[in-house]
Amino acid sequence: MKKVLFLIVTVLFTEQTVLGGWVIREKSHFTDTHEKQERKVYVQDHMIRLEEEGLITIIDLYKEIIQFYNPDTKKYWEGTINDFDRDMVALLRARFLKKISGYSLEERKKAEESYDRIIRQLQLPDSAIARHDRLDVKVSQTKAGREIAGFPTKVFMVWVNDVAIEEDWIAPKLQILPLPLLRKYYEILNHITRYYEQGFHYQAHPLYLYMETRGYPVRIREFGFGYEVITEVTKAKKKRLSPHLFMLPGYPRRVSLRELNNN
């Protein structure tokens, strides 16, 4: 059995290497603020590069190393998930202490106790957070979707505690990573975004992760938080990418997350 699994994984890795990488363009629209964002995703072998306004993120899935690079200031942060946790907690604490600087002693004590509880919960594994929040997650395929960026899609609906919260249009023919690396990618991505996007811990649920492995989500509607966010792939192209694309340019200065975020 182990030999069979090894053969399957080997074939997946070999296929990804031979076929080359992917370049994906995405657009997001926020209905509450009418804000629009664009992002480019580069994927090749075990490397991922995400380009957003003012920030480039590079992830090495083999080494589990993350780099955040600000092209405007030429500064970057680098580390593992554990390093990110440590620096992110320091960043959040600095912001928190600044916010409560004018509180009375009693108010500060209550605020710090509440803050410490939140931080302890955020540092739990995703699965533990989902259990702590008692999330009942259901995922079901609803229909065959229209083509998006030239890819046929299947539409899935996600419910959390019986509330429809997300609609995903999955493109089975758009497989950007072999399964082992795909799981690692979502694990890292979910871990990072938990500090920025409260309430997204359902994405660590096995049913949600299984849906994500069916293909790349070329359209996502998130509508369970009082507003709607629509993210859609506008173009996806397979091509062999230069290894330099996954390296930091020039000689940037390494800094803490706090300095990278101008705090």
What is the arithmetic mean of pLDDT over 174-188?
A: 84
| CA triple 133-211-140, angle to 5 deg | 80
pLDDT at 2 exceeding the cut of 90: no
List, as own/partner pairs, every contact residues 131-137 make where C-beta atoms lie below 8 angstroms and the sequence separation is at least 24, other chains included: 133/201, 134/161, 135/160, 135/161, 135/201, 135/202, 135/205, 136/160, 136/161, 136/162, 137/202, 137/205, 137/207, 137/208
What is the arithmetic mean of pLDDT over 185-209?
A: 73
Instruction: Please give the structure tokens belonging to residue 157.
Output: 């609906």
- What structural domains and CATH numbers belong to the chain? 2-260 (2.50.20.10)
Task: Grade residue 258 by pLDDT with cuts at 50, 70 and 90.
Answer: confident
pLDDT at 156 exceeding the cut of 90: yes
CB 58 within 8 A of CB 67: yes
52-65 pLDDT, tens digit each:
999 999 999 999 99
- Give first-to-last CA distance, the chain, whole Å: 52
Query: Model-level pTM?
Result: 0.79
Lowest mean pLDDT among 30-34, 76-80, 156-160: 30-34
